[in-house]
Structure formats: C-alpha cells, structure tokens
Structure 1
Amino acid sequence: MAVVALALFVVFMLLAGGVRTLIQRRRTGDTGNRRTWAARGSLEWWGLAIADLGYLTVGLGAPVATLAGVPPLAVVDHPVVRGVGMVLAIFGVLATFGSQLALGASWRIGVDQTERTPLVTTGPFRLVRNPVFTAAAIVFLGLALMVPNPVAIAGLAITLIGIEIQVRLVEEPYLRSVHGGAYTDFASRVGRFLPGIGRLRADRPRGS
C-alpha cells in the first residue's frame, strides 16, 4: 500500500502541477504560476511553504517511513481504513484536477496582488469557495489513511495548517479587495471548504 500511496502522490503532483500548468500555458500563453512572486517571510510565503512541507511529508515521507519499517498507528491500522484511504485519494486527485480546470483562465498558483482575474462561481464553486483546496485535503487525508503512521498524521496536520493560512489570510483578503461586494455576496452564500460551512456575513466582510 505504501508504494500505491507514493504512486498516487506522484500522479497528483504531475496532474495538479505539471499538466495543469501546460494546459494554462497553451490556452493563455501564461503558466499561471505566481508562487515565486511571494516575498520571503510573507504570509503567502509561509502558507505555501508549510503546505508544501505537509504535502511532501504525507506523500513522500510517510510511504518511505512505512517501507523503512515505521509501524502504523494501531487505532487506524485496518485494511478497510486503507481501502477507504485509497478511494479518497483517487477521488481527491480527480476532483482537484477537475476543480482546477473549472477555473479556466483564472487558475493561478499563488497570488499576484496587482492582478485582477474573473471571479469564478460556477461548477464546483457553487458548492464551496475553495474546491481545489478541499479536494487536495481529501487527497492527503486519503494518503494518510493508506499509510497511517505518525509521519502521515503529522504531515496531514501540517498540510491543513498551510491551506488555512493560504486561504484565510492570503487568498480571501485578496479576493475581497479585488472583487468587493461581488465576492462578499458569493462568500455569504457558499461555504469555505465544505457546503454551508464558513460562509461570510454579507454585512461583515472580514467574517469567519
């Protein structure tokens, strides 16, 4: 199962990073990658760095630890749990790529504070405001369940912290500043990561 988890991680990185970047460049002439523009030590820099650390810890570190003999946590060491994890990981990979495609020309990795792209509220964005991050979290939850050792659990926690920083402290403030009332209205109707949960109050744009 560790080898399968590692293979799924590689597929995820190739699709979500490599293939999506190639599609963006072919369609727009721009890779859409803004992550290298983040100032070192900024909130965005920390959010992306922490998320990357989590991704690598779960996707690479945990399978390697399992292959090296690190035992799983007894409470989740069950074939059914591992099977559920594989289903979640596969679903998450497909959902991540599909959500990225749904962004069309607005897809970006990272944020350029001077850039204004159309606000996407259709497709999976009708259900949650950040379907790419939701799907990515599902991927790494699934991978962690496939190789449920302490390394995987720690990596999953780090991943979620990085995602929270990037979404709450970087991307949402940027979208509010760029799209104003249109984003506030959208965010008041649609949950942040899960349907109906984390909606902003329309009369309090700096909400939950």
Structure 2
Amino acid sequence: MARRRLWWRHLLSVLLAPATMTVFIPVSIGALTGLRAPDLGSVSGALLAVVGGLAIAFGMFMLTWTVVLFDRVGEGTLAIGSPVKLVVTGPYRHVRNPMMTGVFCIQIGAALAWASPWLLAWFAVFFTAVLIAIRAVEEPHLRRRFGEQYDEYRRHVPRWIPRVSAWEPSPTSDAPVRNGGGSAAKRG
C-alpha cells in the first residue's frame, strides 16, 4: 500500500512541477499568442526545429533520469516530499541541479523549435525564479536536512556549470558511495 501511495506522489509531482512548466504553461502561451507550427520549408525554420527538437529530447532524457534517481536512490519524490537520502550519483556527480537543466533545455528547445519570443520570455522568467528559489529555499533546506554531507557535496560540485570529471566522495566522507558515486538531492 505504501508503494502505491508513492506512485501517486510521483504522478502529482510530475504534473505539478515539470509538466506545468514545460507543457501546460507553454501551450497556454502558444494559444494566447497564436503560435504556429515551425516553417520547415525554410533552412532557418528547419534548423531551428531540429536544434529545438534535440534540446527537448536531451531535456526529457535528463528529467527522466533524475526522476528515476530520486525514486530509486533518494527514496523520495520531486516537489511533494524530499528525498530520504542525498542523491549524488549519475548527473548529480557533475552538477547540483541537473533536473532543472533538463527543464531549461525543454523550455529553450520549445522556444527555438517554434521560433517564439514569447516562449523565450517564459524561459527567462522561469529561469530567474529558479535561480532565486534554489539559493533562497532549496539549498538552505538541503543544508539543514543533510548537514556536513551536503556541505561537502556543495564544495565539490558546481550549482549550474557541470564539472568535466565526476566527483567522487572521499572515503572518509559521510556521503554515501553508490555505483561509483553517491547522490545529489533536491527538495523538489
């Protein structure tokens, strides 16, 4: 029964956060601004559609990967509840916010694919809000929740620009070592 409730929490988390920011709001913006399908007949239109499609695909990949890590390693969900364990494996060994990187890629990809200044403006507003929220809410929450373990992770893994080499927690660290890495938690 507990596992069943967890899947409902995952569904709510995905619908409330990533789907709202990458699908529902952009579709609403498109409807309100008369957004039309990209012009695939021109070289620039086709190029924008391809680059945008690649950015969306990469974003979906990152978003899916990080959601799976939250479930399997962090034992938590995205926006509803926090991970039980600090997630420092996979993409979290290179950058502290790969889930948001995925969302940003989806948003920029949509703006490019549809050559929409309105979708680009939505990305800029959302990006600014996330920058503020991560510093003011998420990072203090993670520090209180995980203490020195999070501090060590934060000292070694950048917030936005990925490290080239994956961070390996030191053997004396309190950070869990799993699958050659560990886990970077996000509140949601």
- 1:133 aligns with 100
2: CA distance, partners of 1:116 / 1:101: 12
Query: Closer, same or farther in 2 for the Cα pair 1:29/1:155, shift >3 Å?
Result: closer
Contact 2:52–2:112 at 8 Å: present in 1 too?
yes
Contact 1:144-1:152 within 8 A present in 2 as well: yes
Name the CA shift for 1:81/1:32 in 2 (closer, same or farther; >3 Å): closer
Maintained 8 Å contact 2:49/2:114: yes
Q: Answer yes or no: is the 8 Å Cα contact 1:57–1:151 preserved in 2.
A: no
Aligned counterpart, 1:11: none
1:16-27 equivalences under 5 Å are 25-26=3-4
Q: 2:84 aligns with which of 113, 117, 131?
A: 117
The answer to whether residue 53 in structure 2 is matched with residue 107 in structure 1 is: no
Report deviation, 1:143: 0.7
**Shift, 1:171, TM fit:** 1.2
Aligned residue number for residue 12 of structure 1: none
- The alpha-carbon deviation at position 149 of structure 1 amounts to 2.0
Instruction: Note closer, same or farther for the CA distance 1:141–1:189 as it changes in structure 2 (3 Å cut).
Output: same
**Alpha-carbon distance change, 129 to 66 in structure 1, aligned in 2, over 3 angstroms:** same
d(CA) in 1 for partners of 2:122, 2:100: 16
Unmatched tracts of structure 2, length 5 or more = 165-188
The answer as to 2:130 corresponding to 1:163 is yes
TM-superposed deviation, 1:26: 3.6
Tell me the distance in 2 between the aligned counterparts of 1:154 and 1:32.
29
Which position in structure 1 is the counterpart of 2:152? 185
CA–CA separation in structure 1 for the residues paired with 2:131 and 2:152? 21
TM-score by length of 2: 0.66
- Map Cα deviations across residues 137-194 of structure 1 (whole Å, 9 max, x no partner): 1111111101122211111112212322332221111001111111011011111122
Inter-partner Cα distance in structure 1 for 2:55 and 2:112: 9
Is the contact between residue 65 and residue 151 of structure 1 (CA under 8 Å) also seen in structure 2?
Answer: no
CA displacement, residues 103-161 of structure 1 (integer Å, 9 cap, x when unaligned): 2253333365xx67210111111111111111111111111101122211111112212
Distance 1:91 1:54, change over 3 A: closer
Aligned equivalents of 2:79 and 2:61: distance in 1? Answer: 21
| Identical columns (%) | 26
Q: Provide the aligned C-alpha RMSD in A.
A: 3.4
1:81–1:135 CA distance, 2 compared to 1 (3 A): same
Please give the residue correspondences for 1:21-36 in structure 2 after superposition, counting only pairs within 5 Å.
25-26=3-4, 28=6, 31=9
Mapping 1:34-113, distance limit 5 Å? 52=20, 56-62=24-30, 65-67=34-36, 78-103=45-70, 104=72, 105-110=74-79
Say whether 1:143 aligns with 2:118.
no
* 1:57 Cα offset (Å): 4.0
Judging changes above 3 Å, is the alpha-carbon distance between structure 1 residues 25 and 154 closer, same or farther for their aligned structure 2 residues? Answer: farther
Residues matched between the structures, number: 152
